[in-house]
Structure 1
């Protein structure tokens, strides 16, 4: 009888040590997996989930500048009626408007067409994207012809596409609410 009681105690003691060792393995696994996943890795995962249509259309380097811009400013070119020098008003875009702009520009429909239209391309709404290390690019919008273009830091036009919606016009109206030109265009569409 004593032999049976000793064997039962040994089995219980072995079961307890197995539970402790399994608990230690699980705790070790959790600790090592959390420390192995750095912030940089999370950022890479998020950037690969973004729209690949935009990346293919404008190129990887320009795509990176637009999506990871540290500073974004919007400019409005006001044309004078007497054909004198045009004036340009520039405003720094806030974080909310920046995310809206990135969302609008990443729509695949913005990169589908570049139809030939008759008229002179005269953009009057500009967006400047400045990333780290001074890298920058520009987006120019002509709401009359419903065209937009991406330019590199030297001002050389890289691509030009049609504006399929009025989303950028609505955002421009939100950024520059005092501009009557945007109000007129929105009310006539």
Structure 2
């Protein structure tokens, strides 16, 4: 009858003993000190608690598994919260990006229509030979160039169109009101 032991170190056929609260508290405190047991420490705990060394080893093994599961749950919850924050930021950035893209398209459309309107204005003014018509064309050109919405290529094209129109009306008199440095760049 003597040497037949089960996995937890108890005699075969013997009812498995539950740990009492004091034993569990002592094991928990020892687990907090270190979740791995050296053989010497395992023997000391077994003697102090009146348990088999195998029971102590199994308790520590189970406790490590529970600790690992809890740690995974904590890590998962943390990652989930971080993901939700990042996703909300990403969604906000996507919406802002979409809004900016729509603004760009609206500005491009507006710029194209302003260019068409300016061309119509310069055509209408070419039939009127007064000095005032040249001033109007030049004022339109300068205000278009002052606008940050107008691209440098469009400004350059508008400048050349107005300059050519002015030369036609004033027989090669250079325009007085336009700053040359505004028209130096040709790239957008």
Structure number having the greater helix percentage: 2
| Larger relative contact order (Cα-Cα within 8 Å, sequence gap ≥ 6) | 1
TM-score normalised by structure 1 residue count: 0.33
